Structure 1
């Protein structure tokens, strides 16, 4: 009986040490979101204005990565963004929406401008391949060029909308086709910051 007690107390001590170690690890390690979006990249808007990390400061922002040849995710997300603006009404006056291409080889400033013009709210952004790659890395965006049978290609990419606060910090995401009421609640929280 004494041996069983010793073994049980030893197990309790091991579990307590493991729990203490896990707590210390999770409370002292840096989180990925503390650096998400950090980095230097020099891009250009559809109307030819410079666009850098600094453009996120001062306004709550909905940021989306995609491309103009996208068959479904990008046009659907742009339609969702237009719908959010409509439903938010005057509450959205300070909200900026930014669409950065993952396919700068085809998405010139003019093409980006034409693609987003119908929304009246979204700023199209492009740049050189090297600068786009810097932005993709800064935001942890997945992209993959996929060849098509006809010799053309498409792009697989992260489909979430990133939410950025007035100080330029990452606040969360809106998932592709997320429930409208849930998305609006996230945007209102972002706007009211």
Structure 2
């Protein structure tokens, strides 16, 4: 048997009977049927950050872990209640995202993790998140060590600035929003440059993805 005959023999019987030139349109058609996943508009961090894993105190005073929030997608933001600008702006933007999701908003939780545990008690966090969206948002705090460890895991930078004459201070911190799927896997990163429409569109894909 020649090399050419051997190669044809290795093909399925129905395919071996079709002349090579006649296969070209078929191969083109099959290529067109292959699925190409639509790229994310947010930054894809899948596989680069840890799963949703923590043990903190919720704004209702109860101890919670990342496991408590599995089953829903989660938007995780590190901020603090005395933040004068970035935090309220980010929370307002997330409220727009939730509004755009419509009924799908019931499948999303917003986790507001403080980077100022000295001042952000469970009660102050409760009052803060309640002013935005008490139904979907949970404020979380912990010890300095717990917050530092968690921030390091997700590459969040923060630093307490110098106190003013009244003893008040600001905390400089990262402003990204982390998107986790219902299984607790870190999937996407949203920045201040990402509009509510973009965040909502990618978040809906996370929600609709088969588990």
Q: TM-score range by the shorter chain?
A: 0.7 to 0.9
Q: Are the structure 2 counterparts of residues 97 and 172 from structure 1 closer, same or farther at C-alpha, using a change threshold of 3 Å?
A: same
Is the contact between residue 100 and residue 197 of structure 2 (CA under 8 Å) also seen in structure 1? no
- TM-superposed CA distance for 1:40, in Å, is 5.8
Question: Which residue pairs with 2:66 in the alignment?
Answer: 53
* SS of the residue 2:145 aligns to: helix
Q: Deviations over 1:133-188 (max 9, x none)?
A: 12112211111111144342211111011000111111011112522221111211
Map of 1:173 onto structure 2: 189
Moved over 6 A (4+): none
Please say if 1:95 is aligned against 2:119.
no
Alignment correspondent of 1:27: none
Residue in structure 1 matching 2:171, options 148, 155, 158: 155
Once the two structures are overlaid, the 10-residue window that deviates more, 160-169 or 149-158, is 149-158
Larger radius of gyration between Structure 1 and Structure 2: 2
* Structure 1 pair 117–148 and aligned structure 2 pair: CA distance change class (3 A): same
- CA 1:188–1:40: 2 relative to 1, 3 Å: closer
Residue 63 of structure 1 and its aligned partner are, at CA, apart by 0.5
What is the Cα-based RMSD across aligned positions, in Å?
Answer: 1.8
Contact 1:98 1:124 in 2 (8 A): yes
Aligned with residue 94 of structure 2, among 64, 81, 85: 81
SS at match of 2:82: coil
Contact residue 77 and residue 177 of structure 2 kept, 8 A: yes
Q: Which runs of 5+ in 1 are unaligned?
A: 1-31
- 2:155 corresponds in structure 1 to 140
Contact 1:57–1:168 (8 Å) recurs in 2: yes
Q: Residues 190, 42 of structure 1: CA spacing in aligned structure 2 closer, same or farther, 3 A cutoff?
A: same
For 2:200, the equivalent position in structure 1 comes to: 184
- For residue 180 of structure 2, what is the aligned residue in structure 1? 164
What is the TM-score when the length of structure 1 is the normalising length? 0.77
Q: Does structure 2 retain, via aligned residues, the 8 Å contact 1:44–1:125? A: yes
Q: Which structure is higher in helix share?
A: 1
1:128 to 99, 119, 143: 143
User: Which residue number in structure 2 is paired with residue 9 of structure 1?
Assistant: none
Give the paired residue count. 162
Paired residues of 2:55 and 2:64 also in contact (CA < 8 A): yes
